[in-house]
Structure 1
Amino acid sequence: MRRNPQLIFPTYPNHHTFMVSRKTIFSIPVFILLSGCASFYQLNYEFNKNFEQGNIEEAANILDQNKKAAKSKTRFLYYANQGVVEHLLGNYQESNKWLEQAYLFGEDYHKNYLNFAASYFLNPNLIVYPGEDHEHLILLYYKALNFLKMEDYDAALVECRRLNQRLYELGDKYLSENKYQKDAFIQNLMGIIYDASGDYNNAFIAYRNSLEIYQNEFSEMFGLSAPEQLKKDLLRTASLAGFPEELDKFSEELGMEYKPLPPTSGGELVFFWHNGLSPVKDEWSINFVAVKGDGGQIFFQNEEYGLNFPFYYDTSEDGNASITDLTGTRVAFPKYVEREPFFQYASLEIDNYYYPLEKAEDINAIAFKTLRERMLEELGKGLLRVAIKKTVEKQVRKEDETLGFLVGLVNFASEQADTRNWQTMPHSIHYSRVPLEEGENEITLHTEGPRGENSQTFTFMGEKGKTQFQTYQSLESKSTL
């Protein structure tokens, strides 16, 4: 049985040859072509609307009524969304069941090459959505949070090891140093979990790795510096793990003097603030002019963006020479649309002392970067897709002008970008560590936006030597889609 939502308070080119018959063209269901006209966000508008307004129970009911989605080409997103809504409803065990299905999907995913080939002729929505790299990391973050809420540190550490494996796979996948292949926040999270379990050695290593990524990759790629809390935790665990040389080294490097403090009587609270919502994918297009070149080449050119893509074609009389008759074409690509958070700053207040919630992960920026990194690949695939479809259209027109015209309509309707992505992730993740007194502790969360400040009060029972974890989701955005 679901509980009422808690802690959510919205206030407002390789050369390819395809032989396609007339029968093949018109066996394509019309609804497949027309469904591509709406973005993934629009196709799931009722769910998105309720989720954004904080009607999490209703959003969960909408998911439950759409059980076919569990076997659809967007099943990864169905599993991930189920995991998020159950997390927000406080059903952490149920949330992890869905998130585990998303994780196993990522482990077992193999491309369906028939659908993959069809995506060149129609649109990329015909292949199973594999999930973005950062989406596979964030789902394990949610799993770890669920286990922490259930005070199962051993299980949370298993998710740490899975996260570490995914990070290694990213490093192997991308050789360029300027690609998103390391995640400072995930390393920081691993440190926090090791820290809470009393494994200060591994906590220090994870904190150190996190600091290095913030100082190098994250600072350059996303303009995101290492949180002050991370620096404090690094020095503290260096001391607790018995690494005096490392402690001296980082104290000097960070310009911070480490002063050991006695353990608090009520343990500590690690508070994660999920601010706003991640971007959604939409569609944009580029017009290209096709220019015949020498040596069996055709160039798709766009002067506005300075783009020039060569393709090889068959110059034989009965080959694909018809592609040289093309004068221009439109190619559709995905783009991200940011949902800028309503709140810009937050802090925790306890006993008139304020602890700022520092930004540790910018999911919005990561999403934009990962798409930019593969934009040339998207351009090449899109042009190849259009070139193939246009070639088929020209060949059919030679035999039957009317049929060729209908093929052109099919081509136009099927030229759609893949706008699928996980849209219930937060825009950014902020956190802070707060000392607790034994017994009852009253903590107030202050969030600040253009219309002033909102406050929400929580009560935590402090217990010596124990680290507690809390998440809070602010769903508000400055504008709606």
Structure 2
Amino acid sequence: MLPGYATAPVFRLSGALLSVGLAGLLAGCTTPPLQSARAEFYLGRFQQANTNLTVIPKDDKDETLYLMERGMIRQNLGDYEASALDFRRAGELDRILETYSVAQGASSLMVNDRTLSFRGMPFERTLLYAFLAKDYLARSNWDYAAISARNIIKHLENLNGFPDIAYGRYMAGFCLELIADEGNAAIQYRAAARLLTNSILLDALSGDILPRTDEHSAATSIARAALKTEPAELVCFIGLGRAPAGEFQQYYYPGLPPYAEIYFGEEYLGRSYAFANTGALMAQSRQRLAAIQMAKDATRIALKETISLTVENQNETLGALVRLILFAMEAPDTRSWETLPLWLQIARVPCPANLTSYTVVFRDAAGGSLGRKVIREPLSRRGNIFISFCRDVGGPLTDSE
């Protein structure tokens, strides 16, 4: 007989279990505002997506997830200050949740892991600071970007079998480069280089990104002239596509990456290269988590069976009902940061010293055009380095001029 329930009246026990079950079922549901905000985001309607998440429930178990999603939406709106506030709050909540809640742990054993407060996979918690760094870079706040870099490094220090992230390493190195911390920047660039495929060369001293093949290896005349007269360069962080969500996370297999070409007017300056794929990061993370989760699931199922037998010994019909309810709540926790791009890419290309805008042409893996954008902001500058970022949310693109 289950300790603590031996003398409890059967109906009181059953009522308590049904209450927990109902709470668990409600806890597992994604709220309509979050679902609609994500849908609006991927339709390119960022303002409406932001409106849908104007109010975030305080102390909700998904508060961190709400903040991560809204932070991404606001970043794409160009509201970098509000985006940074959301990302920072999400980081603060994660530090609080790092101390495991005994009450939540007991609830998850009774119901499922969706009753736990959302923290995200380790790679999501790392990328939180990579995107926060972008908010600071957009506002030329180099010191705060460097703080984000150190948070990225901290999250990648003890991976415990979870995947490392070349994109995070490069972002950390770049932010440190901007504050003239060349030694630590080189360490991060070197770490990123070890994680990249054989198709990309990364210079640990300069952060230069070059293909190993001769594809697009020669810049056009204006870029070469810029290198000779004004050695300026553009570093652009590019997001493409949509990370897989729900049950599709565990079946994801990355194909060949799309990419983005960078132009000044009609002159080709260079292209982006893939540094991370969030679908692959999620699949690797779930694989690492599988053994841990298997043991926890077995414990939960055993506990539910014990509870059901305890009730059944006193009332067979009610015991069968309790068993049905408890086991109906068995469901994997597939919550994730769904506004993350599928592909995280970086372009570092030579450019004119008087750069005020540039054009991005998005292409599929075969080189077919997916659309284009003219980017005028964010476009910050530190010495001879221009910093920018842009996003293709996966829908049809039109010229933004």
TM-score class normalised by the smaller sequence: 0.7 to 0.9
For 1:455, the equivalent position in structure 2 comes to: 372
- What SS does the corresponding residue of 2:275 show, helix, strand or coil? strand
Matches within 5 A, 1:201-220: 201-214=183-196
Q: Take 1:18 and 1:445, find their aligned partners in 2: how far apart are those partners? A: 64
Residue 401 of structure 1 pairs with residue 392 of structure 2: no
1:98 partner amino acid: D
Match of 2:258 among 344, 358, 363: 344
| Cα offset, 1:472, TM superposition | 1.2
Matches within 5 A, 1:16-55: 19-20=4-5, 21=8, 22=10, 23-27=12-16, 28-29=18-19, 31-35=22-26, 38=29, 40=30, 44-55=34-45
Match of 1:63 among 30, 46, 53: 53
| Cα offset, 1:281, TM superposition | 2.7
Q: Take 2:4 and 2:111, find their aligned partners in 1: how far apart are those partners? A: 14
| Cα offset, 1:205, TM superposition | 2.7
Q: TM-score scaled to structure 1, two decimals? A: 0.69
- What SS does the corresponding residue of 2:359 show, helix, strand or coil? strand
Matches within 5 A, 1:62-461: 62-65=52-55, 67-68=56-57, 70-109=58-97, 110-170=99-159, 174=160, 179-180=161-162, 182-214=164-196, 224-225=197-198, 227-228=200-201, 230-231=202-203, 234-236=204-206, 265=230, 267-282=232-247, 336=250, 338=252, 344-350=258-264, 352-440=267-355, 442-449=357-364, 452-459=369-376
1:59 partner amino acid: A
| Cα offset, 1:115, TM superposition | 2.0
1:138 partner amino acid: L
8 Å Cα contact 2:353-2:384 kept in structure 1: no
**CA 1:459–1:425: 2 relative to 1, 3 Å:** closer
| Cα offset, 1:55, TM superposition | 1.3
**How many matched pairs?**
370
% identical equivalent positions: 20
8 Å Cα contact 2:262-2:360 kept in structure 1: yes
| Cα offset, 1:355, TM superposition | 1.0
**CA 1:181–1:162: 2 relative to 1, 3 Å:** same
**CA 1:36–1:341: 2 relative to 1, 3 Å:** farther
Q: Take 1:341 and 1:226, find their aligned partners in 2: how far apart are those partners? A: 15
- What SS does the corresponding residue of 1:429 show, helix, strand or coil? strand
2:126 partner amino acid: L
| Cα offset, 1:147, TM superposition | 0.8
**CA 1:401–1:364: 2 relative to 1, 3 Å:** same
8 Å Cα contact 2:24-2:115 kept in structure 1: no
2:259 partner amino acid: Y
8 Å Cα contact 2:261-2:268 kept in structure 1: no
8 Å Cα contact 1:276-1:339 kept in structure 2: no
| Cα offset, 1:84, TM superposition | 1.0
Q: Take 2:125 and 2:61, find their aligned partners in 1: how far apart are those partners? A: 16
Q: Take 1:361 and 1:114, find their aligned partners in 2: how far apart are those partners? A: 36
Deviations 1:66-105 (A, max 9, x none): x32x311111111211211111111111111111111112
- What SS does the corresponding residue of 1:71 show, helix, strand or coil? coil
Q: Take 1:105 and 1:201, find their aligned partners in 2: how far apart are those partners? A: 32
**CA 1:388–1:18: 2 relative to 1, 3 Å:** farther
**CA 1:200–1:226: 2 relative to 1, 3 Å:** farther
For 2:391, the equivalent position in structure 1 comes to: 473
Q: Take 1:165 and 1:426, find their aligned partners in 2: how far apart are those partners? A: 23
| Cα offset, 1:152, TM superposition | 1.2
- What SS does the corresponding residue of 2:188 show, helix, strand or coil? helix
Q: Take 1:264 and 1:103, find their aligned partners in 2: how far apart are those partners? A: 43
8 Å Cα contact 1:41-1:48 kept in structure 2: no
8 Å Cα contact 1:442-1:459 kept in structure 2: yes
**CA 1:436–1:462: 2 relative to 1, 3 Å:** farther
- What SS does the corresponding residue of 2:304 show, helix, strand or coil? helix
- What SS does the corresponding residue of 1:64 show, helix, strand or coil? coil
Deviations 1:251-293 (A, max 9, x none): xxxxx9xxxx96752732111110112221339xxxxxxxxxx
For 1:308, the equivalent position in structure 2 comes to: none
Q: TM-score scaled to structure 2, two decimals? A: 0.81
**CA 1:344–1:213: 2 relative to 1, 3 Å:** closer
For 1:300, the equivalent position in structure 2 comes to: none
